Amino acid sequence: MKSIFALSCLIPTVFSAPASNSQKAYSRIPCQKGAIASCPHKTIIVSNNPSHKDYADFTSIQSAILSLPHDHSSATILIRAGNYTEQLNVTRPGPLTLLGETSNPLGASQNQVNVFWSAANNGTYPDNAFTSVLTVAPTQNASLTGAGPTGWPVPADTPFGNTNFRVYNVDFRNVFSEYSAGPALAVSVSYANTGFYYSGFYSYQDTVYVGKLGNSYFYSSIIAGQTDFLYGFGTAWLQSSSLQLRSCGGGVTAWKGSNTTYENKFGVYIVDSNVKAANSSIATKIDGKCALGRPWNSQHRSIFARTYEDASIISSGYINWFVNGVGRYEEGITLQAEFETYGPGWNKTGREAGGVDTVLNQTLWAEYDAPEKVFQYGYEDGRFGNVGWIDWKPWV
């Protein structure tokens, strides 16, 4: 309440902010706490609270996104606390930051901006892409999942999408059902670089889709789901984040590898994080039952590193994926790995008995152990080190 009051008092200053403000380094934190004068120059304000109508630029987030030019200019949108029910699509190439108003900018568990959508692909849509709360992709074609080993064929003339998209303290909730009822995405990223900080992604099936040439970095964020809730073709790195098991189904990760003319490290990396039952009542039901992942195709690549696993995890760690009696796991090709994972979910004997889980040593993990070693300029020549869009110090 206090911060809201302070916000309204400070509103006029945003209009007189000096032009040089855009050159100054700024801290997102006072801006998100309500000190509008400290927001970047030209910050667009979204609020669906009728009492803010005199200064809010837009009442929906998507209308603010659509007001931006389709070019390489930078933009910031501050979303005032509230619940918004809308689908968000970001196609523009220029840097875009979404800031959620919050009294706690250094945590994801008390976010005050929720974006809701309710859709699952239970046969009602031509593709999973249509269900997502947030989509970051240059075109609809680029965002489609498709079927078969290589998925939807993205036309060769498709441009790269957003080069530097960031979100702080926003929760994306696909609320179609409280169980797996078909793919129901909270976020979908293709041909784009995206960073999510202190944000939340809630659904039951396929919560996070990092599609073709998608790069996503998650920091101190919460991802909740039941079935295959981290899936895709691209590269995702979850740093110091929480995976919440709302039940079991499929695996936590389900990745589809691709053949490229260059070496690729497309995959999902979960580092210094935790995988736990969403709450104590579900914990008793899923004890020893949830898999870390399963191969969407044989080139699946996922690594849980230095991550805590609670007792929900099945003794084999990962599982195979059988289709018409044929397992997709291929020894030496599929990489379903762990490095220094710990907690009651870690069972060395069980991993060995299961035979589909690779325990990496330091040398093998060193090939992947930093974001710059896995994020690449896939759209160009596959060079590694595509990390200029990552906020390494999101706490300042």
Q: Report strand pairing: 274-277 vs 308-309.
A: parallel
Q: Does 261 bind ligand NAG (CB under 6 A)?
A: no
Site string for ligand NAG, 46-65 (x = CB under 6 A): ----------------x---
What is the closest distance, in whole angstroms, from the C-beta atom of residue 330 to ligand NAG in the complex?
9
What is the closest distance, in whole angstroms, from the C-beta atom of residue 348 to ligand NAG in the complex?
8
Q: Does 297 bind ligand NAG (CB under 6 A)?
A: yes
Buried b (16+ CB within 10 A) or exposed e, 268-283: bbbbebbbbbbeeebe
Please identify which residue in 350, 370, 377, 384 interacts with ligand NAG, judged by CB under 6 A.
350
Radius of gyration of the chain (CA): 21
What is the closest distance, in whole angstroms, from the C-beta atom of residue 316 to ligand NAG in the complex?
7
Choices 8-16, 21-29, 120-128, 206-214; region in contact with ligand NAG by CB under 6 A:
120-128
Choices 94-102, 139-147, 335-343, 386-394; region in contact with ligand NAG by CB under 6 A:
139-147
Q: Does 149 bind ligand NAG (CB under 6 A)?
A: yes
- Taking the C-alpha atoms of residue 236 and residue 165, their distance in angstroms, rounded to an integer, is 14
Please identify which residue in 135, 174, 194, 242 interacts with ligand NAG, judged by CB under 6 A.
135
Within residues 155-194, the interface with ligand NAG by CB under 6 A covers 155, 178
Q: Does 85 bind ligand NAG (CB under 6 A)?
A: no
Please identify which residue in 145, 241, 347, 386 interacts with ligand NAG, judged by CB under 6 A.
347
Amino acid at 153: P
* CB closer to ligand NAG out of 347 and 376: 347
Please identify which residue in 123, 126, 325, 332 interacts with ligand NAG, judged by CB under 6 A.
123
Q: Does 67 bind ligand NAG (CB under 6 A)?
A: no
Within residues 315-344, the interface with ligand NAG by CB under 6 A covers 315
Please identify which residue in 23, 54, 349, 381 interacts with ligand NAG, judged by CB under 6 A.
349
Please state, in angstroms and as integers, the Cα–Cα distance from residue 42 to each residue in 24, 36, 367, following that order: 13, 11, 42
Site string for ligand NAG, 3-32 (x = CB under 6 A): ------------------------------
Q: Does 278 bind ligand NAG (CB under 6 A)?
A: yes
What is the closest distance, in whole angstroms, from the C-beta atom of residue 1 to ligand NAG in the complex?
13
Amino acid at 8: S
Q: Can you give the binding site for ligand NAG, defined by CB under 6 A? A: 62, 83, 87, 89, 114, 122-124, 129-130, 135, 140-141, 143, 149-150, 153, 155, 178, 246, 258-259, 278-279, 281-282, 288, 297, 299, 315, 347, 349-350, 353, 361, 363-364
